Structure 1
Amino acid sequence: MENEGLGELNVKIVDRCLVPPCMPSPQDTLYLSNLDNQPVVRLVFNTLLVYEGCENKLAEPAKTIREALSKVLVYYYPLGGRLRKKEDGKLQLECTGEGVLFVEAMVDNSLSVLRDLEYLKPSFKQLLYTFPFSTDVEELHPMVIQVNHFTCGGFVVAVTFHHSVCDGRGLGQFLKGLGEMARGDAMPSVKPIWDRELLKPSKLLVHDLDLIEEKRGSTSDSWPPPISKESIQISLSLESKAIKCMKQVIMQECGEICTTFEIVTALVWRARTKALEIPYIQSMDVLFAVDGRESLNPPLPNGYYGNGFGVACAKATIHELMNQPLSYIVSIIKKAKMSITDKYLKSMIDEDQFTGDVSSNQGNILLSDWRWLGFNEVDFGSGWPVDVCTMQWNENGLNLSNGFIFLPPNRKIDEFKMITWMDPQEFMLFKIEIEAIINKYVEKN
């Protein structure tokens, strides 16, 4: 097709409806924890699941998923409700029984036009049902699912959700349950647990003040940060073999086990610092989410799908980032990960005050690891997705010009894939620095 050669999408909405639970659900108002009310999660986010056409492809993906949605919402009925503001400004969830907004669309292209979602084109936004950024939270649907049919027989499932209702792990749990119901299971294999009262503030208020003050010292009270109009969403893939070489050399240097997350985070931290030429007078932080479900005492129960993470803050000076060996930077990241303890998480909940602006210093990075959230294991009946990605625009209210997301691996290519939001010229400088650092370690091996 002509538009396919241009790499643009032509998407036509063929149906839009609310899908309620197939059985009556409770009509009540549910508590949202302080972790659900953090400024950093009071926003809309999305994910795309890409499925190729194959011999065992679904005959009618949208119909299958819509019917499964009505069944799984019997167990996840809060997702079909609405967010409401309390007098103190915090959010709660009203279970209205209205259901999840479901959209079916036809695309006059084959999946090849997406090019593994390596570069976000404006027309790709049609794959998602989005609300204007000015939309009041009470007018939003906590979840929207759009199924896009492509001419090749493949399809893309786009899920838009409000982060206050669930975190990434919770969304992955829901989507896998949705897939199970689509494949004919009677109920989700993991029983969903809403119980946000598990994270109510205690009356003891025993705070880990040092860590909380350290986090405050690197942020301000506003969220989201000012929007950068110049940054675009773009992906970067690294050879898995090269990452393994780096890991082997660095573990020899530091004499301890290192994870791929720690290695790549250190790599991104150093390369971006050098590419942006951050002045030596500045310090620089990396903030990243750490799942705290098992860190809490007692741990959150299996099936809990609310926000259960803490934000770790790795801090370093520009001099350290540019002159210390990469193993030293890895050790800083390890220390930050270890800070997300039971005491710290409960301090966050008790403190009842959250900050999340990483824009006060242009070098700061906000990073999220999607590799283990389960998005790449969602099977609606034709196998797992070949690709998983997100798409965020400035009008979504997010400034991700300082953000990185580590994505689940592409089923066809053995690479480590990440997406970021940068000015194109800055991205080229960043990519050059990444390759230079990797080459040094590959040569050592």
Structure 2
Amino acid sequence: MVVVGRMGQGEGEAMVKSIEIPECRYAGEPTLVRPRSNPPRHALYLSNLDDQKFLRFSIKYLYLFKRSVSAESLRASLARVLEDYYPLAGRLRGCGGEAGDAAAEDKLVVDCNGEGAVFAEASVDLTVEEFVEASARPNRSWRKLLYRVDAQSFVGVPPLVVQVTNLSCGGMILCVSFSHCLCDGVGTAQFLHAWAHCTAKPGAEQLPVSPFHSRRMLRPHCSPSVAFPHSEFATPAPQENPSAGYLSQLLQSQPLVPVCVTFRPAEVLQLKRNCVPSLKCTSFEALAAHVWRAWVRCLDPPPVLRVKLLFSINVRKQMCPPLPAGFYGNGFVLGCAETTAGQLVSGTNPRAAVKLVQAAKKRVDDGYVRSMVDLLEERRGTRPDLSASLVISQWSKLGLEEVDFGEGVPLHMGPMTSEIYCLFLPVVGDLHAFTVLVSVPEAVASKFEYCMKDVWEREGEEDGMRDYERVEMGI
């Protein structure tokens, strides 16, 4: 297991220093890359899964490549792939109004006007080796590697923004920002592979997967019918969950620092073995339950506090009929596991937590998804309950780390920043490994690292925690 320490640790502690990115030198003003031919001009309907308020942000990927690809080649291939993915060259707007009008932005559509994706080219005094040495944990300076578009609101930001940064050693960092309202992780991976394919094979006319644009199959019923309870959106009343504000206050009371732990196949297998023979589970189920328990243990909320685990579930195949091949819109919903903090962390066996994760996955079918779409229609603007929730977004198993623009797969692939929600990231070169990245309050970061890496290696969690506390107090 690889553990990456936090900024500011002493020399005797396991750590990887976070690298500060120097200022980028831009080759000129960013350009707009338009589709190679005129795209169909229309307004693309966004489903209620696309148009959720909590998805009004951009998914930002950072890739590090040993050898650079010319900006001219990347522009040309981007123009080619935008012929097929023309909505990404359009602009978001509110129905019946201009971008920036809060009332108009209540419901969004994509104006497929071919205005173009933003493309910036820069250089920086940094080598591949320098970045690799400290690439496990992002920091705020990494934001320099993506051109910032000035806009009054999220709606004013183009759906696709790209920056290619040439390194002093001949390598390249590629940062890509996608509007989450247009596509999810599966969709972004599909687009990146298409772009890489067109770059590596100039003149290629056929994409690996043809994109499917329409989201009409996810439209709500004429008379919305919410047939299922959706606890992922339900905020308990204060009298039902009197300690509900505890975690929110803790998370806002001090700086958050990223903690990153890589689970190699042997550790993942150990997590799964803790559940057999009475319970069989997937790698995701075992790891999600483990991270959830570690997160709650380190935050140490009152035992009566109801805590939730929210995690993305790809529903493309759960729908009846399944969503069409090439669908790149938001085809996921949030699964929700829920219990009290005391019940979640009690005892040494993770089976109960794994069962909660499995039950949350099992209840998501076509009827459940359509009930959620109708709920979002009835209660426009509703958001997931994040008051005492850990949110997991799974970037692994999407093939994001296999994107090859013709000069080899990346040496590093990950997010530009670390957020309060948790990412399960792929590990380049190891299909069965996971990197877990999440930001936690600075005061509990060491405890969270401990719970993540050691809790399953102890004969008893309580004995292990007492050992940890003795070390922390210098006993």
Tell me the TM-score normalized by structure 2. 0.82
Partner of 2:383: 356
Among 22, 39, 52, the alignment partner of 2:36 is 22
Deviations 1:395-415 (A, max 9, x none): xxxxx32x1100011338985
Aligned-residue offset at 1:270: 0.9
Give the conservation status (yes or no) of the 8 Å contact 1:51–1:386: yes
Between the aligned partners of 1:109 and 1:318, the Cα distance in structure 2 is: 45
Equivalence for 2:94: 85
Identity of aligned residues (%): 29
Aligned partner of residue 212 in structure 2, secondary structure: coil
Deviates more, 1:64-73 or 1:39-48: 39-48
Pair 1:318-2:335 in alignment = no
Relative distance call for 1:106 and 1:314 in structure 2 (3 A) is same
Note the C-alpha offset of 1:373: 2.2
Is contact 1:34–1:349 with CA below 8 Å preserved after alignment? yes
Is the contact between residue 21 and residue 144 of structure 2 (CA under 8 Å) also seen in structure 1?
Answer: no
* Amino acid in structure 1 at the alignment position of 2:107: K
Hey, what does 2:13 align to over in structure 1? none
Match of 1:425 among 437, 443, 448: 443
Candidates 276, 294, 309, aligned match of 1:286: 309
Which aligned pairs between 1:39-438 and structure 2 lie closer than 5 A? Answer: 39-53=53-67, 58=68, 60-87=69-96, 89-114=106-131, 115-131=133-149, 135-184=152-201, 185-203=204-222, 205-209=224-228, 211-212=229-230, 214-218=231-235, 228=252, 230-252=255-277, 254-256=278-280, 258-324=281-347, 325-351=349-375, 352=377, 353=379, 355-361=382-388, 364-392=389-417, 400-401=419-420, 403-411=421-429, 415-438=433-456
CA distance in 2, matches of 1:441, 1:162: 46
Distance 1:186 1:384, change over 3 A: same
4+ runs of 1 displaced by more than 6 Å?
Answer: none
Change (3 A) 1:339 1:317: same
Q: Distance in 2 between matches of 1:345 and 1:147?
A: 38
Tell whether the 8 Å contact from 2:233 to 2:384 is kept in structure 1 after alignment: no
Give the partner amino acid of 2:50.
Answer: D
Give the match's secondary structure for 1:407.
strand
Deviation at 1:164, TM superposition (A): 0.3
* C-alpha distance after superposition, 1:282-317 (max 9, x if no partner): 011000110011001010011001111111101111
TM value normalised by structure 1: 0.87
1:93-133 deviations in whole A, cap 9, x for unaligned?
0011111000111111102333352222332211112346x
Q: Deviations over 1:48-98 (max 9, x none)?
A: 122123xxxx5x432221110000010001100000011561000001111
Deviations 1:236-295 (A, max 9, x none): 22333122122123232x332x11111111111111111111111201100011001100
**Helix, strand or coil at the partner of 1:336:** helix
- Which ranges of structure 2 fall in alignment gaps of 5 or more residues? 1-16, 97-103, 238-247, 462-475
Task: Give the AA of the match of 2:174.
Answer: V
Secondary structure at the aligned position of 2:274 is classed as helix
CA contact (8 A) 1:290 1:309 kept: yes
Q: Which one is further off, 195-204 or 171-180? A: 195-204
Corresponding residue for residue 47 of structure 2:
33
